[in-house]
Homo-oligomer: A and B are copies of this chain.
């Protein structure tokens, strides 16, 4: 069944080799004053930085560089918003991966707000306006290029928040698969794990439909198949292009049209992990995934596992529970195969923080709500985290 929904995505995707050539005509729609946001040196190594300056020679560009993974409210968002206000910025051009784009979204909202920006990000105040955002994405992972959400860390208070507002959809996303040729095996694997987890968070919800199930299974199949090709052959355009496109669907809502929202529990747990230990988001998700699946396995959820087992893996099994166990094992082995160490301890997470993190998740996220697909109380969160160590 397709349940009630409202859906619309104003973002235009420009996809393909060399699409950057259309940048001037796109930027011209918004004005001459540009805040160019990026992270470290990779956009310079890729040549995109020089290309942007060449293409935008008639624009006035102000820069915010050094945006970090797990982007921080202080200093990045605060500094970016200040630059926008001081320079009467018309449009933000984000060049980089999901972290740069997430940070740019938060800046876009805070630049149009006169109070403390964290009030917007933490959901205390609803934004009334935001600067338009154009992005050039260089990593297949978060799907930030096709959604209206961002995740921002506030290290001062050990908080990491998912912030969504329809004002934050990018106006245009430039997606050139060649930019991802040089992404390291680690980030290729973690980005794919992130995207797979986005699909799984939405697959485990109700009501389901034949159509959405098929789309989601197709997305996971494509990600699992193409990441192996891209790891073996980093410049394989077919594999990189499909990874880039499928990743973009992760959070734009299409996958859960008609299914409603019933929580993103694995993301809630991972946000605590990377708020406390600054680990790579996709790695944290991959490690949690099979442990969360074990935790929620029950009569109620069995059908979801069976649908995945048959549709995604083509498994047969003696019982529905055996099928579910095979599915969980298959995800564990897949993540291991693409190079993710399947224990949080390896990434530096300390067991003594587990209880504190569980409290933090309960206080900041909605995993324990009645309407969650499977509500997780403190004991359940601790079990998942302990098994993940």
Interface residues of A (CB under 8 A from B): 1-17, 19, 177, 207, 209-211, 213-215, 217-219, 221-222, 225-226, 237-238, 241-242, 244-246, 257-258
Contacts and interface: CB of A to CB of B under 8 A. Distances in A.
Contact of A3 (B2, B16, B221, B222): B16
Contacts of A211: 218-219, 222, 242, 245-246
Nearest to A8: B12
Contacts of A218: 210-211, 213-215, 217-218
Contact of A16 (B4, B8, B221): B4
Nearest to A15: B5
Given A1-B238, A218-B215, A245 B225 contact: no
A362 to B, nearest CB: 32
Contacts of A237: 1
B6 A12 contact: yes
Contacts of A210: 218, 221-222, 225-226, 242
Given A15-B257, A214-B215, 9 more contacts: A1-B242, A2-B242, A5-B13, A8-B11, A8-B12, A15-B258, A210-B226, A210-B242, A245-B258
Nearest to A171: B8
7 contacts: A1-B242, A4-B15, A8-B9, A8-B11, A8-B12, A214-B218, A245-B258
A209 B5 contact: no
Nearest to A146: B7
Contacts of A214: 214-215, 217-219, 221-222
Contacts of A222: 209-211, 214
A13 B3 contact: no
A175 to B, nearest CB: 9
Contacts of A219: 211, 214
A222 B12 CA distance: 28
A245 to B, nearest CB: 4
A3 B5 CA distance: 31
A206 B176 CA distance: 19
A15 B8 contact: no
A14 B4 CA distance: 8
Given A209-B222, A225-B210, A5 B12 contact: no
A264 to B, nearest CB: 22
A211 B221 CA distance: 8
A221 B209 CA distance: 11
Contacts of A6: 12-15
Contacts of A17: 4
A23 B45 CA distance: 52
Contacts of A12: 6-8
Contacts of A242: 1-2, 209-211
A320 B100 CA distance: 48
Contacts of A16: 3-5
